[in-house]
Amino acid sequence: MIAESDLERPFLTLLETRIARELLQPAIVPPNWRIANTARGGPSVGQWSQPDLILISVRRYVSRAVPELELFGFELKTHQGFDVSAVHQALAHTRYVHYSHVVVHCPSDETWEHRLQDARYHAQRHGIGVIRLKAHAPDADFEIALHSERFNPAPGYQDDFLTGRLPGLFDWVQQQLGKES
């Protein structure tokens, strides 16, 4: 039986090699981005406190004078763990991230179509993205079943998240935004 922690490494590789580029489209000026595992390391701050993985993107737009920070959160679930509470867990992460997704390992088409339909409905209703992994391997087939809506977290919560959960990337973010640390 596959545990959620078994999905971290394969999904991280998929995110680095294929999924990030798809989520960050379209972009006239390619964004700079980094990925961090927020499930491991750092303080344990409670249930539903942070996504398992984060994609940090800094985009520069021709029409804007300043770059824009975007955070994508990913909550990993096995098909047994993908239910309405998983959607609400990802929804809780929108206090920090602009885009929140539940990533579901579900190899069975039948399970995906029938048993998990209710959870997908709730994800769509709340604007949460859903990504299906068909295997737990770095080269697995995947589908972005639902794209996340954009959320607007309070800047103070985002700052606390960046400094408390991603201190190793804080200087990179500051540099990309043209700020001094």
Determine the Cα–Cα distance for residues 80 and 78; give it in Å rounded to an integer: 5
Calculate the average pLDDT of the chain: 89
**Do the Cβ atoms of 56 and 43 come closer than 8 Å?**
no
pLDDT for the residue 48? 66
Determine the Cα–Cα distance for residues 147 and 162; give it in Å rounded to an integer: 23
CATH number at residue 58: 3.40.1350
Residue 137 falls within a domain, yes or no?
A: yes
Residue 181 falls within a domain, yes or no?
A: no
How many separate domains does the chain show? Answer: 1
pLDDT for the residue 28? 63
pLDDT for the residue 84? 94
Burial of 124 (0-12, 13-18, 19+ CB in 10 A): middle
Could you tell me the residue range of the domain that residue 135 belongs to?
Answer: 4-176
The more confident residue out of 49 and 63 is: 63
Residue 42 scores a pLDDT above 80: no
Determine the Cα–Cα distance for residues 168 and 108; give it in Å rounded to an integer: 38
Residue 18 scores a pLDDT above 60: yes
pLDDT digits (tens, 9 = 90+) for 103-161: 999 999 999 988 889 999 999 999 999 999 999 898 999 999 999 999 999 999 998 88
